[in-house]
Every structure is written in C-alpha cells, then in structure tokens.
Amino acid sequence: MSGKWLSEYRKKLTTAEEAVSLVKSGDVIFMGEFAQNVEALDIALSKRKDELHDVVLVTTTRTKPIKCVEADPLRQSFIWDDWHFSGVARKFFDQGLASYIPFTYHQGPRVVAKYSNVDFVFIQVAPMDEKGFFNFSTSNSMSYAYCKKAARVIVEVNNTVPKCLGGSSESIHISEVDMIVEGPNTPLVELQPATPSETDRRIAEHVMTLLEDGATLQLGIGGLPNIIGAMIAESDLKDLGVHTEMLADSYVDMYEAGKISGKLKFIDKCKMTYTFALGTKKLYDFLDNNPVCASYPVSYTNDPRIISLNPKVVAINNAIEVDLYSQVSSESSGSRHITGTGGQLDFILGAFQSKGGKGLICLSSTYTDKLGNLQSRIVPTLSPGTIVTCPRSVVHYIVTEFGVAQMKGKSTWERAEALIDIAHPDFRNDLIKSAEELNIWRKSNRIAV
C-alpha cells in the first residue's frame, strides 16, 4: 500500500463514537444498501437517541434491523425512510417505524442529485486497496450518488466482504472520504435461496418455452427465479447473457453450467452486468475480484434505453395481483405496503424495446388467505388502496401456472379473455361475470369450463 494513502488512512481513522458525535438533530444520513449494513456506526448512533430528534435515516432495502430504530419505538429520535422494502422494513412499517420512498429505480441517482439533502453517508466498504480506493462491494446502486451529494462521507471498513469489480462507480477514493471507522467485520447477510413450489415449477416450464439461445437475462427474487435458473442450467440453451438489477446464486449455477457466455450481448460483452448482489457465500466468493462480473450504478443497469441495446432481453419478475384490465400490482396488498417498484417497470420497458425481447410478469393464479380460503390473484379490479406497479399500457406478458398471456395490441375484452384463460379454473366463471359487468366481455364469448 502506498505510504501516502496509508498516512492519509491513519489521519482519517477514528472511532464510531467520535464519528457519530457530529450528527445533529434534523440531519439526514444515508446508511447504505442491501447486504452492506453499517454496524458500528449504527450502534454508536443509537446510543445518542436521548440527545437527538428527527434524524432521518435513509437506506435501500436494509437487510438487518437498524439499531437506532429499535432503540426509538416512538419514532421521535430517528425516522427511517427506505427506497425499497425488505422483510425487515415491512415489519417495521407495520409498527409505524418505517416509510417508503416511491421512485422509478433507474432514476434514483438523479433524484438524489436533484432533490435529496444529505448531511452524512455512513457506508460499509471493503478495505482500502493500494491505490487508495474503498470498494462498495455488493451494493453499487445509489451509493456513489449519495457520496457525491453528502456533506460528510464516513466509511465503515469490513474486511470480510468481496471486492466487486466495475463497471463504474464501484469504489470511492480516500480523498473523497472524511472519516474511516473499522467495523466488527461481520460476514455479509446471506439470503438463502427460496424453495420453489410445485406452482413455481409449472410457471417456470411456461417461461422456458419463451427463452432462446443468446437471450439476455434479468431474474427477480424468490423461488421462481431459482427454479428457472436451475432449469436453464440443465437445459440445452447456450450463449446466454446477463444484464440484471440483482445478481443471485442462480446466475452462478447457470455460469458454472456453461450456459452464460455473454458473447452475443451488444454492450458489456462477456460480462454479467448488475447493480447489487444478494445471496449466499457461494455468490459472494464468486464475485470477489471476478472480472466476469461488472458492477454499475442503477442509473446504468436499469435505464430502459441501456437495457434495450442488448438482444432478446427476457425480464422475469413477480407480482401480487393483476386485474382484468391487465394492471399489475407488485408492491402492495390493498393499502398494506409489501415491497416497492424496484426495477420491474424499468425492465418491462427495456425488454419490450430490445430486439426479440420479452417482459414477463409471473404470478401464481391463487393464494390462501388468513382464513384458509383460496383466493384468485387475477381479479376483476384492484382492491382500494392497491398500488399499480405496471400500468396496462406497458404490460407485455403475464404468466401463471396455467399458461402465458401476451397483452400487447389487445383490446380490453381480448386482455380480459386472455387473463381469464390463465386464471385458476375455479374462478373463471366469476371472472367472466365480472368482465360482463365491467363491459369488457363480448356477449358471444363462451362460458369458462
């Protein structure tokens, strides 16, 4: 390591307690993204709860509880705002301790630059390299945008995290850092692959019929993407590319099975392009200093114009509910917030613009409610308070375990008919009656069987 940067490191090295002593009431603090959870700074700041009020903590999909929030059940000292809900944030939201920031993901860095007031960045990084750079590791999405905007940047070093190569904006130089804290070096949160259900398997079989050699993949999160990845790994598909928001374990499996080459991509050839990674140690080990993987800000990975440059983009995302008008909700159940818009809208738009591209919204046809009753996810109209994630004007494909419905170019009655055809058989006749009442059903159409 250069003596110059080592000397600078020692000058800026401090304790978490000293770093957080600068925080004042009303300050705004960005506390990192996804698996990169600051710990020493969080604990030190939580101990100041009786001295502070209305300090706003901003995260992107925090994967561990924030100690500051846990220490302040009345939400007087600390206010938590999240750009996308994980299970952790959803739990705190239900207690009135977290709020969601609506946005279109690819616009995030621009929103931060134009409209966000940021006093501090508390961000977890890999150890400084010999050139004086701290790598953002698995979470590049909006990290550098916040660092550029903040009055003070404080990094918390974790020597167990992978160094994730760019891409761009994957690191910050020590000259841009105000203070350095050495953290407890806790290994990254591991997101264990969700176990796919039989319904997931049947949906995945339909998805597989839409994939071609040379396709560029974007997979969401959950059991369905995992089983699709497993099926691809065992398939005859070849020369697949990756341009995605989230990099997960399933991509490692596909790469090691020889299905991913990226050589037919138009941009970032032979690279697995992503903005954040979340998975198990297998994924984190794969990422470490691996030039096959390219980490970019979300303003690049999720820009529909950039996405569309690659051929045959197949974007595969989940939903909670779809109505007969083909409006998609992927972030709320009625007024109860579940996740967020994320990159779903970005990739639906980008995939459609891609030559041979397909944007898929996948969901099981039914769910079981709290009373044990079977309910349809394809509904006449979205329930009051439900957030529309993808408007009907941009929806491309809807996939359930009963088939595939393509929406582009279809009238309202054609969309209703196509959706009823892939709804659970037990609900089809009721959906037809509802479509008739909504005046989006041809009187001559058959009754579902």
Q: How sure is the predictor about 1, in pLDDT bands with cuts at 50, 70 and 90? A: low
pLDDT higher than 70, residue 197: yes
Percent of the chain with pLDDT over 70: 98
Query: Which residue out of 156, 170, 245, 401 is catalytically annotated?
Result: 245
Give the pLDDT confidence of 250-281 residue by residue, as tens digits. 999 999 999 999 999 999 999 999 999 999 99
Range list for CATH 3.40.1080.20 in the chain: 198-437
Tokens describing residue 16: 């978490």
DSSP string, 268-320: STT-EEESEE-S-HHHHHHHTT-TTEEE--HHHHT-HHHHTTSTTEEEEEE-S
- Long-range contacts (CB closer than 8 Å, 24 or more residues apart) made by 416-419: 416/324, 416/325, 416/440, 416/441, 417/441, 417/442, 417/445, 419/322, 419/324, 419/326, 419/378
- Residue 195 pLDDT: 85
Give the pLDDT confidence of 331-352 residue by residue, as tens digits. 999 888 899 999 999 999 999 9
pLDDT higher than 50, residue 246: yes
Q: How sure is the predictor about 428, in pLDDT bands with cuts at 50, 70 and 90? A: very high
Percent of the chain with pLDDT over 90: 93
Q: How sure is the predictor about 225, in pLDDT bands with cuts at 50, 70 and 90? A: confident
Residue 245 among the catalytic residues:
yes
Range list for CATH 3.40.1080.10 in the chain: 3-182
- Four-way CATH pick for 198-437: 3.30.1050.10, 3.40.50.300, 3.40.50.2000, 3.40.1080.20: 3.40.1080.20
Give the pLDDT confidence of 54-70 residue by residue, as tens digits. 999 999 999 999 999 99
- Residue 449 pLDDT: 47
Give the pLDDT confidence of 172-187 residue by residue, as tens digits. 999 999 999 999 999 9
- Residue 194 pLDDT: 82
Q: How sure is the predictor about 220, in pLDDT bands with cuts at 50, 70 and 90? A: confident
What is the average pLDDT score of the chain? 96
Residue type, 70: E
- Residue 386 pLDDT: 96
Fold of 3-182: Glutaconate Coenzyme A-transferase (3.40.1080)
